Amino acid sequence: MDKMPQWADVVLIPLISLLLAAILSALVILAIGENPWAAFKLMVEGALMRSAGWGYTLYYATNFIFTGLAVAVAFHARLFNIGGEGQAMLGGLGVALACLYVPWPHWSLAILGASVGAALFGALWALIPAYLQAKRGSHIVITTIMFNFIAAALLNYVLVNILRPVGAMDPATAKFPEATHLPTFRDMFSTADNIMFRGAPANVTFFLALAACLVVWVLIWRTRLGYELRAFGHSESAAQYAGISPVKITVIAMLISGALAGMMSVNTTMGESERLILNSTEGAGFIGIAVALMGRSHPFGVLLAALLFGFLYQGGAELALWTTIPRELIVVIQALVILFTGALDNMVRMPLEKLFLAMRKGDA
Amino acid sequence: MTAPAIQLKGISKAFGPVQANKDISISVMPGTIHGIIGENGAGKSTLMSILYGFYKADRGEIWIKGNKTQIPDSQAAIAAGIGMVFQHFKLVENFTVLENIILGAEDGRLLRPSLAKARKELAHLAKEYELNIDPDALIENLSVGHQQRVEILKALYRQADILILDEPTGVLTPAEADQLFRILDRLREEGKTIILITHKLREIMDITNTVSVMRRGEMTATVKTAETSPEHLAELMVGRKVLLRVDKKPATPGQTVLEVENLRVTDDKGVERLKGISLSLKAGEILGIAGVAGNGQSELLEVLGGFANGVGTIRMNGQELPLTGKGSNGQARRDAGIAHVPEDRQREGLIMEYSAWENSVFGYHHDPAFQKGMLMDNAGILDKAQEQMDRFDVRPPHPKLAAKNFSGGNQQKIVVAREIERNPDLLLIGQPTRGVDIGAIEFIHQQIVQLRDQGKAILLVSVELDEIMSLSDRIAVMFDGHIMGERVPSQTDEKELGLLMAGITQEPTAEDWQVVDQQFALQEEEHEGENNG
């Protein structure tokens, strides 16, 4: 018998962790002489009360869904993919090449082509660490971290020396052609007399992210590949007994993971900046780790966690804009959420398990 | 009259709705060995955890040497003179014996004086109880039997005079188990009180003075060992009459199914584990592979099952099977008609976190019968698993329960059901009843014999000589990667097999017989006991 009902594990623990992080954040804000309640209200208003705020929250959430799913898929095979950041950068390169060098007639085709490009480049960047892990036993955590640096350097080189238009001063590609521009939420949801999502970067890629959640869910829990992937993650020796090739599963899991991380760039590069710039990923690859941890590696959990982090990002930006709370403190708040939901999971879990055990005893 | 060393009065303990211990009372006199026997999940370990301070009893009293004693934690248990030897040792692998012994019982902040004191004390204990061990050896370099000795010494060093041993022979070879029993005997002579928890009848009959039987959290009987028999104990444990001997007709072998010629396997450390094995197996017969654990039996199963590489020839129904590369994996072997119940169900046979229904197709999940288009037919698999569990009497019959929540016997039934269900031509089965309770042993043995009678070939590997003797139609003995010889059970005995297991094939000298005598003295005694009873 399990120690706790499942709803407590899935809902209650993250909520309590979140509450603890919020309380501690409030204390920190209090300590620098600001009003935490006012700050919280500002965050909620900025991120959730106006459609433009939502437009930013969902834009960030889209990134985190992709990178969160990437970490989650690898994690089911017990592979810790820290390289989402680098894979997303390379994904951006794939998007840029697809958008710049293929004459797309319409954005709907362009987004498909760019997705394929992003997935391909992201997967390719994950393939090398995967191969090294599977064949040579090089630890995937180390190699994927190193590949983040290599990706940054590579992108820098490619942008400065190859893709930068003649005469341009900043390390970025040329603007993508008009036909590849994705409809934003403003384009999609505004009516003639009511403009929604004004100025917000959220775009059609959000729906692509939702679809990715569904696809990952089906893949993990409904297909043979998902069955083998999870089996391998639980027990490598049992997987070998069953005839599941460790090399094959390691490589496939990392390819899928890298492809998902890469697809994040469709949102940033194609949907928002409409050209490839340096550092378009802005650390989303790392946030994906926290998102996957908090979401218990379940696509639906990843979706919720991504929305939360989207809220924190946008709310945090509002705080920096309207209060004297320094930007660094917002990073502290985000870090506290990661700390409590990810790293200190057991701190909440163990007392709660005892509580449920005691309650059950009371019933018996 | 002396007071009992330990007396439990009306101990009860519930975990939620599960009553793990119900009103349990026992009384153990000093200088005796008391056995507690029961199937897995009968509540033995819970009871001992209460005695050692891991759990707090809901009701009941503990009396130690005539005094009512509270045991809120393990420190209190140690202070009361209770020492525990766990089934899974609690030793630091890269510490020396001496360091492990003082761990948690250091006298001060500086280690040196404690170590010196422990060294002296250890020498003294070694002399008194014949527990010889090198105090400076690293734990990781010791055999399992010697590691267990360190655990016992740890308890004695803390001045325990009541020793609790939880399934102590589960990890030992027969010879090691024999040595352990000699140590226990010696401890008893010196006046220590020992509680032996086990589910093996043989051990109870061999060494205990008194025995308590537990079933479903209750103590069903406490008897003097001399006044009972294995059959009677088994009945008390399971709650019904149990067949301890396998009931089978003579085999009617058919065509040759499996032929192995000059098979060699080298492990990843470069050690040759199989050194040219040849054997053949016909339909409708059980070939038992006997041998002390670690003489190549595991590697034989692994290479036949397709998850270790080898050199040589394996023919299945006349078709040669690849031993390396792409065609050599678990899937390919299953396609060739080989089913495999692996030796270690928790590491290999099952995914412990998977539910029973997910495990019910593990290894066969590529079968189109379990697919629905691009997806797996989860609903169909669930239905089949439910039906399978009912037929194989898996308890509880809930396919959605994770494998780790089943008892050892029921986990094994899930694996056996899965492999037999596929109607294989050849079944490889390793340690079919390791860690399995008596009721399930009987059932699994029946299934194996039934499969044989359907004309299937069965390769049985077991370190339990009893099991080999009673199930096999032919016995091959393995030693150091070789097959030392083949025998027919009706024309051999444990002595002869013991010689082969020790690697002795020539006409034995007096010295050889001495080795075997020692190794089998224990089993001989028991057989006499069985005959008399």
What's the CA gap between A64 and A234, in Å, rounded? 26
Do the chains contact at B17 and A364, CB–CB below 8 Å?
yes
Do the chains contact at B351 and A1, CB–CB below 8 Å?
no
Instruction: Convert the pLDDT of each residue in A307-355 to its tens digit.
Output: 999 999 899 888 888 888 887 887 888 788 888 877 777 788 888 888 8
Neighbours of A346 (CB within 10 A): 10
- Asked if B250 reaches chain A (Cβ–Cβ under 8 Å), the answer is no
CB-closest option in B362, B374, B375 to A242: B362
Instruction: Convert the pLDDT of each residue in B482-495 to its tens digit.
Output: 999 999 998 988 77
Is the CB of residue B51 less than 8 Å from the CB of residue B6? yes
- Give ranges for CATH 3.40.50.300 in chain B: 6-238, 265-337+424-506
SS3 B450: helix
Q: What is the pLDDT of residue B376?
A: 94
What's the CA gap between B100 and A280, in Å, rounded? 54
Do the chains contact at A238 and B362, CB–CB below 8 Å?
yes
Find the Cα–Cα–Cα–Cα dihedral A238, A239, A242, A246, rounded to 10°.
-140
What averages of pLDDT result for each successive group of 10 residues across chain A (364 residues)? 70 86 91 89 90 93 97 96 96 96 95 97 97 94 96 96 90 93 91 85 96 97 96 95 94 98 96 92 91 91 94 88 81 84 78 80 56
CB-closest option in A230, A231, A245 to B329: A245
Contacts of B331 in chain A (CB under 8 A): 242-243
CB-based contacts of A350, cutoff 8 Å, min separation 6: none
Q: What is the pLDDT of residue A322?
A: 84
Do the chains contact at B305 and A234, CB–CB below 8 Å?
no
The angle subtended at Cα B165 by Cα B164 and Cα B168, nearest 5°, is: 175
For residue B252, the distance in angstroms to the closest alpha carbon of chain A comes to 31
Do the chains contact at B16 and A231, CB–CB below 8 Å?
no
Alpha-carbon dihedral sign for residues B93, B94, B98, B100: negative
Alpha-carbon dihedral sign for residues A161, A163, A166, A171: negative
Q: What is the pLDDT of residue B515?
A: 64
Contacts of B299 in chain A (CB under 8 A): none
Taking CA–CA distances from A3, the nearest residue in chain B reads: B16
- Asked if B326 reaches chain A (Cβ–Cβ under 8 Å), the answer is no
Is the CB of residue B150 less than 8 Å from the CB of residue B100? yes
Contacts of A78 in chain B (CB under 8 A): none
Do the chains contact at B358 and A224, CB–CB below 8 Å?
no
CB-closest option in B307, B332, B376 to A240: B307
CATH of B265-337+424-506, one of 3.40.50.620, 2.40.30.30, 3.10.105.10, 3.40.50.300: 3.40.50.300
- Asked if A227 reaches chain B (Cβ–Cβ under 8 Å), the answer is yes
What's the CA gap between B174 and B524, in Å, rounded? 13
Neighbours of B379 (CB within 10 A): 10
- Asked if A234 reaches chain B (Cβ–Cβ under 8 Å), the answer is yes
- Asked if A137 reaches chain B (Cβ–Cβ under 8 Å), the answer is no
CB pairs under 8 A between A and B: 79
Do the chains contact at A224 and B17, CB–CB below 8 Å?
no
CB-closest option in B307, B375, B378 to A241: B307
SS3 B265: strand
Q: What is the pLDDT of residue A338?
A: 81
Q: How far apart are the first and last CA of chain B?
A: 32
Q: What is the pLDDT of residue B510?
A: 66
For residue B14, the distance in angstroms to the closest alpha carbon of chain A comes to 8
Do the chains contact at A243 and B347, CB–CB below 8 Å?
no
Do the chains contact at A231 and B405, CB–CB below 8 Å?
no
Alpha helices in B275-326 (DSSP H): 297-305
Q: What is the pLDDT of residue B282?
A: 96
- Asked if B17 reaches chain A (Cβ–Cβ under 8 Å), the answer is yes
- Asked if A241 reaches chain B (Cβ–Cβ under 8 Å), the answer is yes
What's the CA gap between A158 and B270, in Å, rounded? 47
- Asked if A242 reaches chain B (Cβ–Cβ under 8 Å), the answer is yes
Taking CA–CA distances from A215, the nearest residue in chain B reads: B375
Contacts of A358 in chain B (CB under 8 A): none
User: Looking at beta carbons, which pairs linking A347-352 to residues 24 or more positions away fall under 8 Å?
Assistant: A348/A13, A348/A16, A348/A17, A348/A20, A349/A9, A349/A13, A352/A4, A352/A8, A352/A12, A352/A13, A352/A16
Short-list A274, A57, A48, CA closest to A181: A274
* The pair of three-digit structure tokens given for residue B37, joined into one six-digit string: 């026997």
CB-closest option in B349, B352, B353 to A241: B349
Do the chains contact at A234 and B352, CB–CB below 8 Å?
yes
Do the chains contact at A231 and B330, CB–CB below 8 Å?
no
The CATH classification number of B6-238 equals 3.40.50.300
The angle subtended at Cα A284 by Cα A282 and Cα A290, nearest 5°, is: 140
pLDDT tens sequence for chain B (533 residues): 688 999 999 999 887 777 889 999 999 999 999 999 887 777 888 898 899 988 888 899 999 998 999 999 888 999 999 999 987 788 998 999 999 998 888 777 888 888 888 899 888 888 888 788 888 989 888 877 888 889 999 999 988 999 999 888 876 766 778 888 999 999 999 899 999 998 778 888 989 999 999 988 889 889 999 999 888 888 888 887 777 677 888 889 999 999 999 999 998 888 899 999 999 999 999 999 998 777 899 999 999 999 889 999 999 999 999 998 888 899 999 999 999 999 999 999 999 999 999 999 999 999 999 999 899 999 999 999 999 999 998 988 899 999 988 888 889 999 999 999 989 999 999 999 887 877 788 899 999 999 999 999 999 999 888 889 999 999 999 988 999 999 999 898 877 887 888 787 766 666 666 666 665 554 444 444 444 43
Instruction: Convert the pLDDT of each residue in A153-199 to its tens digit.
Output: 999 999 999 999 988 889 999 999 999 999 999 988 888 888 888 88
For residue B507, the distance in angstroms to the closest alpha carbon of chain A comes to 41
Is the CB of residue A186 less than 8 Å from the CB of residue A200? yes
Short-list B462, B406, B457, CA closest to B433: B462
Q: What is the pLDDT of residue A361?
A: 61
For residue B54, the distance in angstroms to the closest alpha carbon of chain A comes to 15
